[in-house]
Chains A and B, each alone.
Chain A
């Protein structure tokens, strides 16, 4: 369907498409099998000027917005959600600096991320703080002109691979939700190390790892935004980044539909290609309808966010839920169309189905997203 992209947006799609077809698809199975971080592909994405799509020009980026990022991510996810996640996680790590960081932090870190020279990561989750972010136990205490961090972050995407970490820690425990603050921690900071690297069902090319802070000392100016404004920054970051996860669902579903349709045309049973059977046609038709509907919603949400509205949580959560639930369904049906072959690792759809599941869980489970939408509706109808 034609979404009337501008010439520049069309170019973003073309560059991302070429990287996906020529670089990502040929190596996705191997990276998945070896659980290997896609360092070389991320380097090539940087070389193609796509690492800083959402970063302002004055900090070395392209100066685009959420929608530009979504267009690139859609292509990457069509190839591999593991690789696309590794790329998208940079944005999640950079957004706290973009949205709340001081001019000094922006000038220092954003050009490094925009050029693709350094990777970033976002560190919120802990063993006791998942959906309930108020369970955070990592602390930061000001000691002279340094902050001292202690605690352990869990399941951090790009953990162990990124150089720049946006980390939330409790600075004022008595203040509750207003007692959390975000900091930039660098991979070389003293007292910072990596723990367990997770073995996952899907997105195995992406790194998911523990971060351990043991009297980790960082300069006072590494604080992102105001002291106590950590949760606000987290919420704003997630509002901006969720369409990026939603579009991974769309790209993934498109990839699965492509595989299923091509297979259904080639596979002959009862003397005919199976695409000629209505049972298969209806599966494919539903996959196509749902993918296109999700794409339209994600594009609309991304453009809504780029217009800087006061309220964006509902749109951001709606597209995340819809597109990722859809991706789970579409990839499962793609395996169904390929039948026994689809279940084998010789074909890419089993990986697509494995990769889909995380989309319903990370960056806020789809149940939490429905809470957000429900709460927004509750507020809207108060008026």
Chain B
């Protein structure tokens, strides 16, 4: 089974602050990490390959420093890392990103299974997984919390829903996005780290993947950011006191006033 895992390098949002004056993200001194959801996607790919046989390719579109993250993916068990990097990709929204990734997947000779994290913690759009599936015309399911079994032409998996879960039979080739509940990502092993140290990350540019530059980066991105702002912190709160009956009456009155 040929498995591709899509990974994104993101700023560690636990340490990111918005500059209140410029409303832009202050990235200074903020470490770049592997998107946490993608870590689960990688773990699932590596375990499936161990169980059913196959290869795992870690694929990322990003600046040259994303190669470090791909080495980390190799330390965690991926067989190879492929970086798609070109100045022309800069400013890509999800439409241009899926176009780029789709071309990269085709350049790699397609895959039986592509796994992505549910979303990235910086943009939080959750659009790249489904967009990529659409472009490659693959069967697709999001928010997978368990893969029960992989068969020759399909796999059985559980999809998390707001009101429970679905049990799905998904035709292969397919693209899945996964949630944190699916597994516990492993810590990079000693042998993995040694492999990663020696590993050469293959790097492709726009021409290598046969991409039309008009559809890449900012040029290929119809999304325009109108405004970025930090939501105002409203610290107002009221403590209701008295007996339960009194508190409920007061609460009801307050709610009525709002409605």
A10 and chain B: residue at smallest CB distance: B193
Pick from B186, B187, B190, B192: contact of A12, CB below 8 A: B190
The answer on a CB contact under 8 Å between A19 and B187 is: yes
The answer on a CB contact under 8 Å between B189 and A7 is: no
Pick from A7, A8, A22, A62: contact of B187, CB below 8 A: A22
A40 and chain B: residue at smallest CB distance: B184
A23 and chain B: residue at smallest CB distance: B187
Instruction: Indicate whether A268 reaches chain B with its CB closer than 8 angstroms.
Output: no
Instruction: Indicate whether B197 reaches chain A with its CB closer than 8 angstroms.
Output: yes
Distance in angstroms between the alpha carbons of A15 and B187 in the assembled complex: 7
The answer on a CB contact under 8 Å between B186 and A48 is: yes
Instruction: Indicate whether A132 reaches chain B with its CB closer than 8 angstroms.
Output: no
B193 and chain A: residue at smallest CB distance: A11
Q: Beta-carbon contacts of A18-56 to B below 8 Å, as 1s and 0s?
A: 110011000000000000000000001001111000000
Distance in angstroms between the alpha carbons of A304 and B191 in the assembled complex: 26
Residues of B within 8 A of A11 (CB): 190, 193-194, 197
A8 and chain B: residue at smallest CB distance: B194
A68 and chain B: residue at smallest CB distance: B190
Distance in angstroms between the alpha carbons of A62 and B188 in the assembled complex: 15
- Chain A proximity of B62: nearest CB distance (Å): 23
The answer on a CB contact under 8 Å between B187 and A49 is: no
The answer on a CB contact under 8 Å between B186 and A49 is: no
Instruction: Indicate whether A117 reaches chain B with its CB closer than 8 angstroms.
Output: no
Number of A positions contacting B (CB below 8 A) = 16
Number of B positions contacting A (CB below 8 A) = 10
Distance in angstroms between the alpha carbons of A158 and B197 in the assembled complex: 35
Distance in angstroms between the alpha carbons of A15 and B189 in the assembled complex: 7
Q: Beta-carbon contacts of B165-194 to A below 8 Å, as 1s and 0s?
A: 000000000000000000000111111111
Instruction: Indicate whether A14 reaches chain B with its CB closer than 8 angstroms.
Output: yes
The answer on a CB contact under 8 Å between A49 and B197 is: no
A22 and chain B: residue at smallest CB distance: B187
B188 and chain A: residue at smallest CB distance: A15
Residues of A within 8 A of B191 (CB): 49
Q: Beta-carbon contacts of A57-75 to B below 8 Å, as 1s and 0s?
A: 0000010000000000000
Residues of A within 8 A of B186 (CB): 44, 47-48
- Chain A proximity of B144: nearest CB distance (Å): 23
Q: Which of B186, B187, B193, B197 has the most CB of A within 10 A?
A: B187
The answer on a CB contact under 8 Å between A48 and B189 is: yes
- Chain B proximity of A116: nearest CB distance (Å): 11
Pick from A7, A15, A18, A44: contact of B197, CB below 8 A: A7
The answer on a CB contact under 8 Å between B194 and A48 is: no
Q: Which of A7, A15, A19 has the most CB of B within 10 A?
A: A15
- Chain A proximity of B68: nearest CB distance (Å): 14
Pick from A14, A22, A47: contact of B193, CB below 8 A: A14
The answer on a CB contact under 8 Å between B188 and A18 is: yes
B191 and chain A: residue at smallest CB distance: A49
Pick from B190, B192, B197: contact of A62, CB below 8 A: B190
Residues of B within 8 A of A8 (CB): 194
Residues of B within 8 A of A15 (CB): 187-190, 193
Residues of B within 8 A of A48 (CB): 186-190
Residues of B within 8 A of A22 (CB): 187
Distance in angstroms between the alpha carbons of A8 and B188 in the assembled complex: 14
Distance in angstroms between the alpha carbons of A23 and B184 in the assembled complex: 11
- Chain A proximity of B120: nearest CB distance (Å): 21
- Chain A proximity of B77: nearest CB distance (Å): 10
Residues of A within 8 A of B190 (CB): 11-12, 15, 48-50, 62
Distance in angstroms between the alpha carbons of A49 and B190 in the assembled complex: 6
Residues of B within 8 A of A44 (CB): 186-187
Distance in angstroms between the alpha carbons of A48 and B189 in the assembled complex: 4
Residues of B within 8 A of A18 (CB): 187-188
Q: Beta-carbon contacts of B148-159 to A below 8 Å, as 1s and 0s?
A: 000000000000
Residues of A within 8 A of B194 (CB): 8, 11
The answer on a CB contact under 8 Å between A47 and B189 is: yes
Interface residues of A in 242-281 (CB under 8 A from B): none
Distance in angstroms between the alpha carbons of A164 and B194 in the assembled complex: 30
Distance in angstroms between the alpha carbons of A309 and B137 in the assembled complex: 66
- Chain B proximity of A146: nearest CB distance (Å): 39
B186 and chain A: residue at smallest CB distance: A47
Distance in angstroms between the alpha carbons of A109 and B197 in the assembled complex: 31
- Chain B proximity of A368: nearest CB distance (Å): 35
Q: Could you list which residues of chain B lie within 8 angstroms of chain A, going by C-beta atoms?
A: 186-194, 197
List, sorted by A's number, 27 A–B pairs whose CB atoms are closer than 8 Å.
A7-B197, A8-B194, A11-B193, A11-B194, A11-B197, A12-B190, A15-B187, A15-B188, A15-B189, A15-B190, A15-B193, A18-B187, A18-B188, A23-B187, A44-B186, A44-B187, A47-B189, A48-B186, A48-B187, A48-B188, A48-B189, A48-B190, A49-B189, A49-B191, A49-B192, A50-B190, A62-B190
In the A-B complex, list the 10 residue pairs whose CB atoms are closest, starting with the nearest. A49-B190, A48-B189, A49-B189, A11-B193, A49-B191, A18-B187, A15-B190, A48-B187, A19-B187, A47-B186
